[in-house]
Structure 1
């Protein structure tokens, strides 16, 4: 009796603690993920992200961070473990994470701080209306802001469908 229930129990435990797996199956982790979501396909450059966004008609999420920043590291831990966020990014977004600033000044409308997350629609417009909860750092998110980030991602998807 115990031998018969052990595989079922192990399967239940494995599925409970499993991380998000894309529909296409597990992918080889990319070095471009930098730990923010190893199962996601990340754009290499901002220009590539814009191209993919336009050609696939998906919004681009640009994540600015630094490897040695404690705020970036705290957000990365929560961000990479949130299956809901990982799933929506995999299915509905083009993603790019940068550890350096771009020459596009539209990506730093209120300063060059980290971590900072901006959304760009396929028409290459930075969505200034989708931001975090802080007045002095409009595009900053903290580990406790994952619910707000998820709702902003949903908003970016809805705006895309409504406007384009």
Structure 2
């Protein structure tokens, strides 16, 4: 379990440091890193390692390189500065180009593109979803305003639950 969690965190760090086009006010992106000094061993180490991520919701984005819907959504993401800024400042983004066997990350099926919001307790937020009844976590290029609204909702829910 710990190895799986550490693998996900490492993937999050790599993805979050490379995915966003938005440049903060400092003028350059500073990649997040897990190297924050020496940690004690055991559960305390894991708790300290995850501390920087506890105040941010996780957005999991499933897509495929050869999927036209995924490519169209990727283009809209890269051109929308509001999305880029919000992702960069307020979210941890896990960008997955393969399907997972974890049923929690495919609660209503395996399709792409699929965007899930996960709170720090590692619970998929079923109350934050897209507009389709048969694909609850699907977003298309015309759904960007709904996606931005859901991102704001994920931030508000997290702050209200802390």
TM-score (ref. length: structure 2): 0.71
SS in 2 for 1:137: coil
Offset at residue 144 of structure 1 (A): 0.9
User: Quick one: distance in 1 between partners of 2:50 and 2:127?
Assistant: 22
Q: 1:146 aligns with which of 119, 125, 144?
A: 144
How far the C-alpha of 1:145 sits from its partner, in A, is 0.7
In structure 2, C-alpha distance between the alignment counterparts of 1:52 and 1:72, rounded to whole Å = 30
Give the alignment partner of residue 128 of structure 1, picking from 112, 126, 129: 126
Report the RMSD for the aligned CA atoms in angstroms.
Answer: 2.4
Q: 1:133 to 1:145 in 2, by over 3 A?
A: same
**Deviations 1:63-85, CA, capped at 9 Å, x for gaps:** 00000000000111011110001
The residue aligned with 2:35 is: none
Residue ranges of structure 1 left out of the alignment (5+ in a row): 1-18, 29-39, 42-50
* Bigger CA radius of gyration: 1
For residue 26 of structure 1, the aligned residue among 21, 25, 28 is 28
The question of whether the paired residues in 2 share the 8 Å contact of 1:130 and 1:156 is answered with yes
Give, in whole Å, the separation in 2 of the partners of 1:85 and 1:154: 10
Q: Secondary structure at the match of 1:118?
A: strand
Normalising by the residue count of structure 1, what TM-score does the alignment of the two structures yield?
Answer: 0.71
Question: Which residue among 95, 98, 102 is the counterpart of 1:97?
Answer: 95
Which residues of structure 2 form unaligned runs of 5+? 1-20, 33-48
Residues 77 and 163 of structure 1: CA distance in aligned 2, closer, same or farther (over 3 Å): same
Q: How many positions carry a matched residue from both structures? A: 128
Q: Report the equivalent of 2:135.
A: 137
Q: Which residue of 1 aligns with 2:59?
A: 61
Structure 1, residues 46-97: CA drift from partner, whole Å, max 9, x if none? Answer: xxxxx75874421000000000000000111011110001001111100111
For the residue of structure 2 that corresponds to 1:79, the secondary structure is helix
SS in 1 for 2:150: helix
